[in-house]
Amino acid sequence: MDSFYKSFYVILLILFLGLCDESLAETEKEKSTYIVHVSKSEMPESFEHHSAWYESSLKSVSDSAEMLYTYDNAIHGFSTRLTEEEARLLESQTGVLAVLPEMKYELHTTRTPLFLGLDKSADMFPESSSGSEVIVGVLDTGVWPESKSFDDAGLGPIPSSWKGACETGTNFTTSNCNRKLIGARYFAKGYEAMLGPIDVTKESKSPRDDDGHGTHTASTAAGSVVSGASLFGYAAGTARGMATRARVAAYKVCWIGGCFSSDILAAIERAILDNVNVLSLSLGGGMSDYHRDSVAIGTFAAMEKGILVSCSAGNAGPSSYSLSNVAPWITTVGAGTLDRDFPAYVSLGNGLNFSGVSLYRGNALPDSPLPFIYAANATNATNGNLCMMGTLAPEKVAGKIVMCDRGMSARVQKGAVVKSAGGLGMVLSNTAANGEELVADSHLLPATAVGEREGDAIKKYLFSDPKPTVKILFEGTKVGIQPSPVVAAFSSRGPNSITPQILKPDLIAPGVNILAGWSKAVGPTGLSVDGRRVDFNIISGTSMSCPHVSGLAALIKSAHPEWSPAAVRSALMTTAYTAYKNGQKLQDSATEKPSTPFDHGAGHVDPVSALNPGLVYDLTVDDYLGFLCALNYTASQIETLAKRKFQCDASRKYSVNDLNYPSFAVVFQSMGGSNVVKHTRILTNVGPAGTYKASVTSDTPSVKISVEPQVLSFKGNEKKSYTVTFASSGSTTPQSMSGFGRLEWSDGKNVVGTPISISWD
C-alpha cells in the first residue's frame, strides 16, 4: 500500500511540475522586450551605482526578468523582457521616465564619385592628414572584411582618438580588422530575446556580413579606391567610397529577422564611446514621436557628442507623408538617379522595340525570336500574372519567354520562378504603383524590366497576335543619360508627418543602381538559389543614398574639424542644386514633372560646393531643447531624449518656426489661425568677409514673402539674424494645397540656398 501511495504522489508531483513548466513557458510567451528610460539623478542614495538601482527596480516587478543591455550614453536605462503588467508596474516607479516596447526596424534597401565631381577636386580635400582621422560608424548587417574596399594600403596608424574594438565571433577574428576597417562589433541580445538564438548555419553570430547590405553601405561611405571593379562587366571602372581615407567602424545590428531597437541603441551607445565622427544608418521604421522612437532618442545623444548622423528617408515613395527618420538632429537623405543606365531592349515579332534595363550576364538567348507568353495565360492562380512561387504551369512556359507583372514578391524572385518552370527568359513590367521608374537587377535568367507604358504596349501585342515572339537585346553600360539626377519614385516624400514645420527630406543623393562592395556569403540577387559570388554588386534604395551623404560629411568634417554636425549638414543643404545645367528644374520619376522640396528637400548634394558654403545655419543642443519645448513636450519626455532634467522657461515664447534650420516649412492654420507666419534664422559666416543680399522666388502668389533685413554684412566668424514673414492673402483658404519657393543669400560668389514649402493644415 505504501508503494502505491508513493507512486501516486510521484505522479502528482510530476504533473504539478509539468504544469509549472507550462505556466512558466506561457508567461515567457506573454513577455515582450521593453526599453526602460530612467532619470539617473533620481537614484536613491542607498545605491552606490545606477546598475544596482536598475537591478533592484527590475526585481521589484519580476523575479525572472534579466537585463539585456544597460545604457549610459545613448540613453539612461536598460532593456529587458517583461509582461505588459510588469511593464506598467515598472513605469509607475519613481525615477522611471518611460517603458517603451521594442520596435523592429527594416533596412532601406563606379560612377558616383565622378557624377558628384569628386574626381575633379581631389586636391580640394585633405588626403593625408585629417582626412584619415575621421571615423565613419555604419549600423547595418555587418561587414565582409576581405572586400578590396577595405584595403588599408597607404593609410597611417589608427587614429589615437579611436576607443573601439574588433570583436570575435563566428567566422570573424581580430585579424579581420586593419587600418581601414578599424572596428567591428555585433549586437544580437534584443534579436535573440524576440526570435530565439541566432542560427549560425544561416548567419554568422559575429560582425561578418552574410547579407551584403552592410558591406555595400560601408564601402559607399568610405571604401578604398579599387580599380577594375564591376558587376559581371557592368559599370566597369574604379570603385571608391565618398571619403576614401576615412576609417570604417562596422556595427552589426540587422539580422535575417530585422533590426531591433534595443540592439540599435546598444550600437549607438558603443559608437559614442568608441569616438566615431559620423554615424550612418540605412534603416528605418519609426514613425512615432521623437521621445518614443529609439533611433531619434539614440541619435540625439550622438548629436550632443558632436557626431553627425545620416539616415535614409525610406523607400515608401512616391506617397506623401511616407518619410521615416525625420528628427531635426538627423540628416534625412532621399534618393536620386545617376547618369548611367544598363539598357536591355525588347524586340517584338511585329517589329516594335521597347527599352528596358537589366544586369543579366550569362548564357545568351538564341538570335532568332522565341515564343512569348503572358504569365496570366500560363497559370490557374488568380494572381498568376505576378509570377509568384508555384503559380506557373511548366507545360505552358517551357521554352518560352514569359512576361510577368511587378509586385508582391522580389523582382529577381519572379525570374527564378520562370526559370524553375522551364522558361528561357522574362520581361518584367511595371504597374501603376511604379510607373516608368526602372531598377536594374542581376537576374538569374535573361530578363529585362520595362516601364508601365511599355508594358501595356507589349501586352497589346501579346493579346492580339496568335503566335507572339520576342527577342531581348542586352546593350551593356551607357553613361551620359539625361536628365539626371531624377528623384527616384521609391524615395520617401514629405511633408513631415511628425513636425510639419520641419521640411524633410533634407536633400537627395545617388541611390539608384549603385555599385559598391558585396559579401561573398550570398549571390548578387540575395536568393538562396543564386550560387554566383561577386566582389561588387549594383543595388538601389535610400539605403544607398544615405552612406553617400555620410561619406561626404566625413570629407567636410576632415576639412573643417571644428564644425558642428548642424554646420556640416547646413553646408550640404545650402549648396545643393535644384536645377540642371540647362536651367530646367530637377525631375521626379514618379510624376515625370518637376520635383518639389517635399521630394528632394534642399536639392541634390554637391560636395565640391559644400566644402566652402560661405554661410551656415548652426544649431546647438540648447536650440534642440528649445524646439522640444515648442512642441510642448513634458519634462519627462524631454529628459527621455536629453538624459537630463531641463525646465522650459515659462516666461519665454518658444516657436518651432525659430529652430535655426536650413529650410522653411510654412504651415498656415485653416481654421481661425493667423494668416501671417514668421520664421527667424541666424547665419554664421565661415568664409571671407562679405556682404550678402537676399532674393526670394515663389510659385504661390497668394502668399507674400518678405525678408528683413535684405542685406547682411559679415566680418570673420560673425553671426547675423534675419526674419522671413509669410503673409497669406485672400479670404478663402486653399484646401489640400502646397506651394514652394526658395530663398537665396548671395555675395556674388557664394549662393546660400534654402527651400520653402507652404501648406495649409
Q: Which of 147, 149, 492, 543 is catalytic?
A: 543
Strand-pair partners of 724? 679, 707
* C-alpha cell at position 584: 530646367
331: amino acid identity, one letter: T
Instruction: Check: CB of residue 271 under 8 Å from CB of residue 247.
Output: no
Of 69, 51, 40, whose CA–CA distance to 639 is shortest?
40
- Give residue 678's identity as a one-letter amino acid code: K
* CA dihedral for 740, 743, 748, 750, sign (positive or negative): negative
Q: Concatenated DSSP letters for 35-90?
A: EEEE-GGG--TT-SSHHHHHHHHHHTT-SS--EEEEESSS-SEEEEEE-HHHHHHH
- Considering only CA atoms, which of 734, 691, 681 is closest in space to residue 714? 691
* Distance between CA atoms of residues 264 and 74, nearest Å: 10
**Interatomic CA distance for residues 448 and 460, integer angstroms:** 18
Q: Per DSSP, what are the bridge partners of residue 280?
A: 138, 310
Cα separation, 315 vs 492, in Å, equals 5
Distance CA 679, CA 470 (A): 59
Report helix, strand or coil for 623: helix
Kindly state the cell numbers that stand for 196.
530565439
Interhelix angle 635-642/621-630, rounded to 10 degrees, is 150
Catalytic residue flag (residue 543): yes
Neighbours of 126 (CB within 10 A): 16
- The residue to which cell 527590475 is assigned: 58
- Mark 725-760 as b/e (b = at least 16 C-beta within 10 Å): ebebeeeebbeeebbbbbbbbbbeebbbbbbbbbbb
Q: Identify the bridge partners of residue 594 per DSSP, sorted by sequence position.
A: 587
User: Among all chains, which residue has been given the C-alpha cell 540642371?
Assistant: 580
User: Distance between CA atoms of 246 and 180, rounded to whole angstroms?
Assistant: 8
- Hey, is 591 helix, strand or coil? coil
The CA-CA-CA angle for residues 451, 457, 461, to 5°, reads 135
CA distances (Å), origin 218, targets 250, 538, 737: 8, 14, 40
Burial (Cβ within 10 Å: 0-12, 13-18, ≥19) of residue 6: exposed
Half-sphere exposure of 311 (CA within 13 A, CB side): 31
Helix (H) or strand (E) holding 323: none
β-pair type (593-594, 587-588) = antiparallel
From 213, 216, 291, 600, the catalytic residue: 213
Reply yes or no on whether 560 is catalytic: no
What is the rounded CA–CA span in Å between residue 422 and residue 437? 29
Cβ-count burial 666-687 (b if 16+ within 10 Å, e if not): bbbeeeeeeeebbbebbbbbbb
Q: Which of 140, 405, 535, 747 is catalytic?
A: 140
What is the distance between the alpha carbons of residues 621 and 102, in angstroms, rounded to a whole number?
27
Strands, sheet with 283-284, edge to edge from the N-terminal-most edge strand: 254-255, 258-260, 104-107, 283-284
Active site residues: 140, 213, 543
